Amino acid sequence: MAINHLPAAALYSHPSLARLWKKVHLSCSPFYRRPAVRRLYTQPTTVLRALLRHAPYNFIALGCAEGLKESLLLRKLPKPTLLLTADTCLSMAKIAARKLSARDKIARQIDLTSPSSISRILTPPISHSKSKAPSPARLITLYGVLPNLDPLPLLRCLAKHMAPKDLLLFSTNLAPGENGRRGARRVLPQYDNPLTHKWLQGVALRTRPRLSPGFIHFGVYPDPNQSSLSRIEARWFVGNKPTHTLFSSRRPTLYQVKSWIQTSGLTRIHQWIEPKGEEGVWLTTRKA
Ligand SMILES: C[S@@+](CC[C@H](N)C(=O)[O-])C[C@H]1O[C@@H](n2cnc3c(N)ncnc32)[C@H](O)[C@@H]1O
């Protein structure tokens, strides 16, 4: 029997689920538990300051939740002219817009699995002004989203909508080491804990059509679109049969991230990897 995969947006589809996710994040995420992981989100500022120092720029935060990681970055960068925060959960995008500083601000709902939704956010409006001033460069962040969504179509779509001087800064979780399966199994205990179960039970309760009574089980499986890529999945079991994947988090190796960048039409400018090799941040631009 085929296993139904819930869209990642379903995990944050109600403010109560977004609040439960935030609790999970606050108490389980390596971002809070390990300073080396937090540092990943300030380290790019030196390179970015050098790249952005000559002209005004706009800042676009995709899948930003409440904008915590973006705030660490923006604190050390010149103030952007325009800030656009976008998430499937509009209430979180609005909180992010309030938190981050910029001359002008917009918060929008976006579906990062939909090319037309991405296009609406990233295609600059046609200017009717007579001024010949070039449009400002855009710094686009995409933190913590690639583990949840199919990475290649998303990166390709973003690359397609980037102007040559735009920058894309993204983060992803990694499978430490060279063997993806083994690396993913090593980090599995970070997910299988009571708070994450409570969040996902909440997701299961809100799923329609209703799920048959069952239980959650975590494991490591191949990604259906890229079998060499490992995914940590929380599956809903009814008896001994999995019926739904409630949650999944991709764990690429460093080599796999390198190949995503190459095949999606991007070029790497810099990368920062935390010492345990479980998370990294990449600064990229569109391939010339
Ligand atoms: C794991 S959280 C990461 C949040 C934050 N950027 C961070 O790194 O802490 C994933 C984020 O992506 C958003 N998201 C999930 N599916 C989405 C979709 N299809 N379109 C837009 N945002 C989505 C969620 O609402 C959530 O804010």
Same domain assignment for residues 69 and 161: yes
Which of 111, 113, 148 for mutating ligand 1's site (highest number of atoms within 8 Å of CB)?
148
Residue of the CA atom closest to atom 8 of ligand 1: 144
Query: Across residues 87-114, what is the average pLDDT?
Result: 97
> Do 144 and 258 belong together in one domain?
yes
Q: Residues with Cβ < 8 Å from 35, sequence gap 6 or more?
A: none
Stretch 214-235: mean pLDDT: 96
pLDDT at 129: 58
Q: Is residue 78 domain-shared with residue 18, that is, in the same domain?
A: no
The number of the ligand 1 atom at minimal distance from the alpha carbon of 117 is 20
Distance 61 CA to ligand 1 centre (A): 11
Q: Which two tokens stand for residue 235?
A: 């599956």
pLDDT digit string, tens, across residues 254-282: 999 999 999 999 999 999 999 999 999 99
% pLDDT > 90, the chain: 93
High-pLDDT (> 70) share of the chain, %: 97
Per the structure, the count of domains in the chain is 2
| Same-domain status, 60 and 153 | yes
In Å, what is the CA distance from 282 to each residue of 70, 139, 200, 249? 14, 13, 29, 18
Measure 131 CA to ligand 1 centroid, in angstroms. 37
Query: Does 131 reside within a domain?
Result: no
pLDDT in tens, 28-64: 999 999 999 999 999 999 999 999 987 899 999 999 9
* pLDDT at residue 228 greater than cutoff 70: yes
Do residue 44 and residue 115 come from a single domain?
A: yes
Instruction: Let me know whether 77 and 212 are in one domain.
Output: no
Same domain, yes or no, for 146 and 282?
yes
Same domain as 282, residue 164? yes
Question: Is residue 100 domain-shared with residue 207, that is, in the same domain?
Answer: no
Its domain, for residue 265, covers: 34-121+136-174+253-286
Query: What is the pLDDT averaged over residues 206-220?
Result: 96
**CATH code of the domain containing 62:** 3.40.50.150
Q: Does the pLDDT value for residue 240 go beyond 90?
A: yes
Residue with CA closest to ligand 1 atom 7: 144
Among 5, 12, 14, 66, name the best residue to mutate to test ligand 1's pocket (greatest count of ligand atoms within 8 A of Cβ): 12
Torsion of CA 185, 188, 189, 190, to 10 degrees: 140
Are 81 and 190 found together in one domain?
no
